[in-house]
Amino acid sequence: MDCRVLAFRQLPRQPKLFLEYLDHFECVKGFYAHPPTIAAVKRSARKLDYPPERRAEVARILREQNTALGAGAETLSNLDRLEKGAVAVVSGQQVGLFSGPAYSVYKVLSAVQIAEELTRGGIPAVPVFWMATEDHDLDEVRHSTWFDQGKLIRYELPVAPDAGKPVGRIPLGAQVESLVREAAEFLENQGSDLLAGFLRESYRPEETYRSAFGKLFARLFAQQGLILMDPLDPGLHQVAAPLYQHALAERDELNEKLLQRGKELDRAGFAAQVKVTSRSTLMFYMGDGVRQAITASTDKFQAGEKTWARDELVHLTHIEPASFSPNALFRPVVQDYLLPTVGYIAGPAEISYFAQSEVVYRHLLGRMPVMLPRAGFTLLDAKANKILRHYGLAVEDVWAGSQDLLHKMESKSVQKGLAKQFDLNQKQMEKMLTKLGKKIEKLDPTLKDTVERAKQRIEFHLAKLRRKAGRAQDQKTAKIAMHLQYLESLLDPHKGLQERELCLLPFLARWGAVGLGELQKLATGKKIGHHFILQLP
């Protein structure tokens, strides 16, 4: 299998802070607790202080969750190991339709691989995937884009009437049946009855975005023993309640630290990923089912139409912890309060906003896991590879944009000056025939008509040749347009990286059972911070 390795710096549209974190950690170490290395993960594991009572309760809740999702023997074994003292390598993502974009799978594979490498090195570790079921942005999860022979297929569920609620509680509804039928047939036609079966078993009308996604991932990663985690669980909220209380009781100090961190990032030339204002808190309120941000003023807290005094709200987290939800900066802190996390597998934007979360980690938790970039992949099929070779292109040329790409393809195949050459040569030929005809007429005036007929025949055949050349050029232009569409749909869909826009399931269906294993091998801790361009067999 052909494979090229790129540094993330060679990819388009990467956050500046993320690249500095990978390439020049010394310049940004004030914003992070650890450098992005496996050695740092091992040091973190040796120093981890995680209460055994919390470990036992969280392991019990996760066992219930994963059993309900249909977890296999490997996952249940990993839950036993977690309960007995294993550390966690964690990642997470929104619960997108039909598994969401490909990088959701790449996050899992990175977590699985690094957990296995730690275990082989003497540090028992298990992979955990945090499903972002509390997120309320339904538009982010209700669609999935698949690649099919140069075209993009979009599977999309309608906006639910209960939009604004955590997506993990929103049922898929009857509309999912036709989408599953079409998508499953597609996977079968690509050669995978297994994946088609997984899709049919997981995505049913009565399922929610949470349960469907969880059941699919439980089946997809059964052999890897992936532990899935649903933060909507009331039991997990109960465990996290003391952290919620601290976050609200100490809101003023935390907010001041976050505002200061924003200024520090700005002075260093970086943009803060999450906006923090003087009224911000780290929490949402979900008491009415809808997830609403809690804001603070001098003497009260507010979410929607509800208001509380500080002491009243802090007390409410004790008696109704399931009514509260962390925001983007607080969510990872809650995650790592609940789990014995030593390494977190993150995407570029996530790693950037962890520079803000670091002050919350330091204030509330006193520890922070090592942030490791997930492995990245761009997959090439045989046709795309053939097109690239034909035009002498690389994947990077496709990422450079349509205009430059089209220019390179045209310069390789189409003679843009062909029409001008015809015009010029035709004029020259007319002059030559006129001059020659005059000489022949002087020699023998009776040949005048013969000369004129010969001139007309030459002009006729030249025009005919021009039309044929024009049709050939038009065909080549149309072919280039088709090739351009194919490359952009596969490698730069919606002007974004393939892994961020396309679902991985169609690729896995064509690749076969070995596909996940091949990707996992490349997601090693020895290749942290790399993107792989692979040609599918």
- From first to last of its 537 residues, the chain has per-residue pLDDT tens of 689 999 999 999 999 999 999 999 999 999 999 999 999 999 999 999 999 999 999 999 999 999 999 999 999 999 999 999 999 999 999 999 999 999 999 999 999 999 999 999 999 999 999 999 999 999 999 999 999 999 999 999 998 777 689 999 999 999 999 999 999 999 999 999 999 999 999 999 999 999 999 999 999 999 999 999 999 999 999 999 999 999 999 999 999 999 999 999 999 999 999 999 999 999 999 988 899 999 999 879 999 999 999 999 999 999 999 999 999 999 999 999 999 999 999 999 999 999 999 999 999 999 999 999 999 999 999 999 999 998 899 999 999 999 999 888 877 765 556 666 666 776 777 778 778 777 887 887 887 778 788 778 877 777 677 666 556 665 677 888 999 999 999 999 999 999 999 999 999 999 987 999 999 999 999 888 899 999 998
CB within 8 A of 279, min separation 6: which ones?
Answer: 295, 296, 297
Q: What is the pTM of this model?
A: 0.90
Q: What is the dihedral of CA 155, 156, 157, 163, to 10 degrees?
A: 150
How far is 198 from 207, CA to CA, in rounded Å? 14
Q: Which two tokens stand for residue 88?
A: 């966690």
How far is 425 from 444, CA to CA, in rounded Å? 28
Question: 242, 334 in Cβ contact below 8 A?
Answer: no
E-state strands within 190-339:
227-229, 283-285, 292-293, 295-296, 301-303, 306-308, 324-326
Residue that has been written with the tokens 């538009």 in this structure: 139
How far is 184 from 236, CA to CA, in rounded Å? 34
How far is 117 from 301, CA to CA, in rounded Å? 46
CB within 8 A of 71, min separation 6: which ones?
Answer: 218, 222, 228
Which candidate, 48, 69, 288, 367, places its Cα nearest to that of 79? 69
How far is 356 from 342, CA to CA, in rounded Å? 19
Buried b (16+ CB within 10 A) or exposed e, 488-517: bbbbbbeeebbbebbbbbbbbbbbeeebbe
Q: Which two tokens stand for residue 47?
A: 């120093």
